[in-house]
Amino acid sequence: MSPERDPILLSNAKDRLAVALDVPDARVALDLVDRLEDTCRWLKVGMELYYAAGNALLAELRARGYSIFLDLKLHDIPNTVAGGVRSVMGAGAGLLTVHAGGGGAMLRAAADVANQPTAPRLLAVTVLTSMDAAELHATGVSGSPAEQVLRLARLAWTSGIKGMVCSAEEVGALRKELGPEAFLVVPGIRPAGSAKDDQRRIATPQDAIAAGASMLVVGRPITKASDPGQAAREILAQIAQAIPNPALLN
């Protein structure tokens, strides 16, 4: 029997942090997970790691008690994307990304498949946080990143997808537009004083949560730290400060 997806909880800071395992193989990933010292609940597995380690790694992470955010950014014709969603059902991922830019038919096909207990909840990726206005314009989009994010979020929402990925610069507008039901995930998180790396539209953990983010994705500020567990605890404390009446960290 396929495992059912984990519930989405926002009761405390630990529920609101996904640590990005942007590493090349299962050995490195599991070593990093050990060094996180059970500070997080959600682990984000992207294309690099998933293509290298597959569902066996996801099963190992779930056996250790973690929830899986599978960041594959599916973007293809509707039938192919629907098949991709169907193929990962048995892996037990709680979240799965698709590109909102794939269009309404693709998004609806994905949403139709994901409408069952064993399917992951879908997140529509709007505009990558590594893109600024100049890079967006180079793709043929004349509007600002904020305008494009809102346009794509509306498309995903009307296509049946209630979760979005956007930068902290747009999350407040999306929260106002879509209301409390929307599950808004914000990558590009950098604690004050951290290097931007290849991210353009960034924010601190406190600012992103205060603006309306449901969950934050943090990679290098945690995974490249000399003590990943301590780095995660510091970010959790910053998240907790921005949550109204936050629960105790656990």
Catalytic residues: 73
Residue 173, judged by CB atoms within 10 A of its CB (0-12, 13-18, 19+), counts as middle
Q: 3-state secondary structure string, 12-60? A: CHHHHEEEECCCCCHHHHHHHHHHHCCCCCEEEEEHHHHHHHHHHHHHH
DSSP state of 100: G
Q: How far is residue 43's CA from residue 68's CA, in Å, rounded to a whole number? A: 5
CA 228 to chain centre: 19
Instruction: Measure the CA–CA gap between 163 and 150, rounded to whole angstroms.
Output: 13
Tokens of 227: 């003590």
| Cβ proximity of 140 and 114 under 8 Å | no
